[in-house]
Amino acid sequence: MSQDYCVKKHHRHWVRNIALVTTLMGSLALSACNPELIEDGKASQPLPIKLKHEIQKIGSTEGAPLYIRIFKEEAVLEAWKQTKDGTYALLKSYPICAYSGKIGPKKKEGDRQAPEGFYTITPGQMNPHSSYYLSFNIGYPNKFDRSYGRTGKHLMVHGSCSSRGCYAMEDDQIAEIYALGRESFEGGQRSFAVHAFPFRMTPENMARVRNSDNFAFWQNLKNGYDHFQITHVPPKVEVCNRTYVFDPQGANHFNASAPCPDYTLEPTLLASLQKLRSQENVRFSQAVQKQDAADQKAETKANNQMLEAQLEVLQRKERIAEGKNPDGFLAGLLKGNPAPAAAPAQPVATQSTQTSTAQAETPQTVTAQTQPNAGAPASNSFFSKLGSAISKPFKPLTGDSSQSTSKETATLTTLPQAR
């Protein structure tokens, strides 16, 4: 080996060491300005021993693929792990500490809504230096969201129990969830799915929200929900015709805003979905009937309470006019207003005419048209005539089908037709 070669080799080592020291010093200086860039060990925390035992108990491994489901209304995040037979088993349910907004999708930046839909998490979306302890980006807006022009960014699942459009967890919970995702990536999973639903999509819950503007959107989400309920495998999600499509076969190219290509569903899966939907449509119809009856009962009760309150006001005014409550509040309002001379007695109209008149006039209209005569006998007062001529001046609303307004009955949509 020549002397020149040794000198050159020594020179290269010296230059490399200088560069390494310079880089290290620069990193330390940058970290001093940005404390959260210093590795604090949060992202590398091992899975708790108890959670490792639970993974073994369900027949899975630490590096097995992960799947996450979120239920907004119930405030629950579920972590599922793939088992030895390829299906997924529920590992653990975590309470969501806080989320923004209410049930319904996020539509624009600043609306403080937490997203609903089907999202994919890659290693690049994991944030070990999050200001909220640890976090991963949900990936909003996805292809479906963008097809509707929806906007927003930095929508996370994170710690610190504080939300402005995100799903927030307690720090120890996000540490476990983050570790589960990290282990699945190290085990070879290239991405894991996060499916966010407004609620558990049972026929009863769907019946409860059937009048919502979001009902059609939730019907679309339910199809994906049902695929997993049957197969216990996260469905393959595509978007076409601005609609989510699940587990399509026979087509490779899907455009979110274009018509769907021809595709099919696996026959066994399709048969299972049709059977499930047939059963759930019965439950949906029963739930609708039950809720309609409950709503009618509540409406009738509210109307009766309102009419009873109106009648009580009329009766109180009558007592004041007869001088039975001269010191009452309403009597004080009437003092100083001389009553007009008693009007000649009018013929009593038929009951049907009086009923329609009494129901059409509000208490304010009646008061404006007829001033009670404080000096007149009770038998000549308007309120006495009202009570004697009409046995039930305020008829309670009933559940008579002839008086009910026909409404279009909502149903669970049938399964999307394979094209």
* Residues with a known catalytic role: 158, 166
Helix (H) or strand (E) holding 23: helix 3-33
Per-residue tokens: 61 = 């491994």
Q: Are 231 and 269 in contact (CB under 8 A)?
A: yes
Radius of gyration of the chain (CA): 35
- Going by C-alpha positions, the residue among 199, 174, 209 that lies closest to residue 75 is 199
Pairing of strands 98-99, 167-168: antiparallel
The residues, any chain, with a CB within 8 Å of residue 401's CB and separated by 6 or more, are: none
Contacts of 316 (CB under 8 A, 6+ apart): 325, 328, 330
CA 130 – CA 118 distance, rounded (Å): 23
Q: Whole-angstrom Cα distance, residue 51 to residue 176? A: 9
Whole-angstrom Cα distance, residue 411 to residue 398?
Answer: 26
3-state secondary structure of 174: helix
Q: Is 265 left (phi over 0), alpha (psi -120 to 50) or beta?
A: beta
CA distance 118 to 248: 15
Q: Which amino acid is at 58?
A: I
Please state, in angstroms and rounded to a whole number, the distance separating the CA atoms of residues 154 and 142: 12
